[in-house]
């Protein structure tokens, strides 16, 4: 039987399928169900800056979160604060038997470096920085935003001994440059990609509303492109997030160069069993082809391993066009 074990962020995992950060991993029960389904690791639901601020304001009496942000978080079942989050880490670590990756949603505040130490002390195996702020001020140049992200990552990575992984969106002019800067700043891993909350308009209420939360299976193409281009070239291990709904997609991303894949929307759609079926399909595919381990497949189709890397971007383009018939 094919060996699915991998190392991610220096941590041994029994397989590369990670339960991604979401409401599915916000409780001990959710973590246990992901582990029962065979997940190689779990990324806990993100703790949001507003939750941390709210807690700090209770302690210090300072101004805390914006009231609308607090209402939003409460509406999403995230009213609990930082103390509960640390408790979740401790208990998940005690009971799950798989690596537990804590997640914090940050937009560039120095608060996180201090809190990261508490996350480490609570027993988390790693921290995923969910870098999720959408820039809304047209006057701020990309370089300033990127510099802030780099210094945020450097401050958190410098504050902890456990590995840090940055989860970024794909909307950068040069994803590869941002990726290598974050790696140099101390991010041992990169999760590609974060999907920002989508918005909509409720015409009847004449108000903004939430867009669809779940993603579609097609989302993996964006991760696949960048993972194949960046594998082995930016100094960070890559985890794919977006559109992993089955074993074939997980293996495609691994062939492109991902060390691990994360699942979220498929689990919302089909239940935690989607993790088990993905793992089963991966093993069956490798066994049917006599490939001894998932490590043998990893990166086979990345730019780095291509016979003509300089033509790789062009190749993507030509293949995409010829795929249209
Ligand atoms: C309901 C919901 C809640 C999510 N919450 C978080 C979160 O707290 N932190 C985070 O980093 N990503 C969060 N995500 C994003 C997922 O982890 C994942 O990156 C994204 O959904 C793309 O993967 P998918 O196609 O497998 O869903 C959330 C996604 C969904 C659908």
Nearest CA to ligand 1 atom 8: 46
Tens digits of per-residue pLDDT, 246-281?
999 999 999 999 999 999 999 999 999 999 999 999
Q: Rounded CA gap, 256 and 319, in Å?
A: 15
- Atom in ligand 1 nearest the alpha carbon of residue 214: 31
Tens digits of per-residue pLDDT, 204-256?
999 999 999 899 999 999 999 999 999 999 999 999 999 999 999 999 999 99
- Atom in ligand 1 nearest the alpha carbon of residue 216: 25
Query: Are 298 and 259 within 8 A, CB to CB?
Result: yes
Tens digits of per-residue pLDDT, 118-133?
999 999 999 999 987 7
Would you say the CB of residue 40 lies under 6 angstroms from ligand 1? no
Would you say the CB of residue 257 lies under 6 angstroms from ligand 1? no
What does pLDDT average to over the chain? 89
Q: Rounded CA gap, 45 and 32, in Å?
A: 14
Using DSSP, state whether 29 is helix, strand or coil.
helix
Q: Rounded CA gap, 75 and 89, in Å?
A: 22
Residue 151 neighbours by CB under 8 Å, 6+ apart:
108, 185
N- to C-terminal Cα distance for the chain?
38
Q: How would residue 95 be classed by pLDDT, with cut points 50, 70 and 90?
A: very high
Helical H runs in 142-272? 142-159, 175-184, 220-230, 247-256, 265-270
Strands 207-210 and 237-241: unpaired
Would you say the CB of residue 21 lies under 6 angstroms from ligand 1? yes
Q: Phi and psi (nearest 5°) for 76? A: -95, 15
Q: What is the pLDDT of residue 197?
A: 81
Strands 207-210 and 164-168: unpaired
Would you say the CB of residue 22 lies under 6 angstroms from ligand 1? yes
Return the percentage of the chain with pLDDT > 70, whole number. Answer: 86
Q: Rounded CA gap, 135 and 173, in Å?
A: 14
Using DSSP, state whether 201 is helix, strand or coil.
strand
Residue whose C-alpha is closest to residue 234's, from 304, 180, 177, 163:
180
- Atom in ligand 1 nearest the alpha carbon of residue 167: 11
Tell me the two tokens of residue 169: 């969106």
Residue whose C-alpha is closest to residue 44's, from 95, 104, 96, 94:
104
Nearest CA to ligand 1 atom 4: 22
Residue whose C-alpha is closest to residue 1's, from 12, 18, 15:
15
Q: How would residue 60 be classed by pLDDT, with cut points 50, 70 and 90?
A: very low
- Atom in ligand 1 nearest the alpha carbon of residue 267: 26
Is pTM beyond 0.85? Reply is yes
Nearest CA to ligand 1 atom 22: 242
Go through the domains of the chain in sequence order and give each one's CATH number.
6-322 (3.20.20.70)
């Amino acid at each position: 039987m094919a060996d699915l074990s991998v190392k991610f962020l220096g941590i041994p995992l029994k397989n590369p399928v990670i339960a991604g950060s979401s409401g599915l991993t916000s409780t001990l029960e959710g973590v246990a169900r992901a582990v029962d389904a065979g997940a190689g690791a779990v990324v806990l639901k993100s703790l949001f800056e507003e939750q941390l601020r709210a807690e700090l304001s209770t302690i210090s009496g300072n101004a805390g979160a914006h009231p609308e942000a607090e209402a939003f978080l409460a509406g999403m079942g995230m009213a609990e604060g930082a103390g509960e989050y640390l408790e979740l880490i401790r208990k998940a670590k005690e009971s799950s038997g798989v690596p537990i990756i804590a997640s914090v949603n940050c937009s560039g505040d120095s608060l996180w470096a201090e809190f990261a130490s508490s996350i480490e002390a609570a027993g988390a195996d790693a921290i995923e920085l969910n870098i999720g702020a959408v820039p809304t001020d047209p006057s701020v140049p990309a370089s300033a935003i990127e510099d802030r992200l780099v210094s945020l990552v450097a401050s958190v990575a410098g504050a902890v001994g456990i590995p840090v992984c940055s989860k970024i969106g794909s909307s950068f002019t040069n994803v590869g440059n941002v990726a290598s800067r974050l790696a140099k700043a101390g991010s041992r891993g990169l999760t590609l990609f974060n999907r920002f909350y989508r918005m909509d308009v409720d015409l009847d209420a004449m108000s903004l509303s939430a867009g669809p939360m779940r993603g579609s299976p097609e989302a993996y193409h964006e991760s696949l492109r960048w993972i194949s281009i960046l594998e082995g070239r930016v100094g960070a291990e890559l985890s794919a997030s977006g559109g992993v709904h089955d074993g074939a997609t997980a293996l495609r991303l691994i062939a492109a160069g991902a060390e691990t894949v994360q699942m979220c929307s498929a689990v919302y759609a089909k239940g935690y069993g989607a993790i088990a079926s993905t793992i089963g399909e991966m093993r069956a595919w490798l066994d049917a082809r006599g490939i001894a381990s998932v490590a043998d497949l990893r990166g086979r189709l990345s730019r780095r391993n291509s016979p003509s890397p300089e033509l790789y971007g062009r190749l993507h383009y030509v293949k995409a066009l010829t795929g249209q018939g």
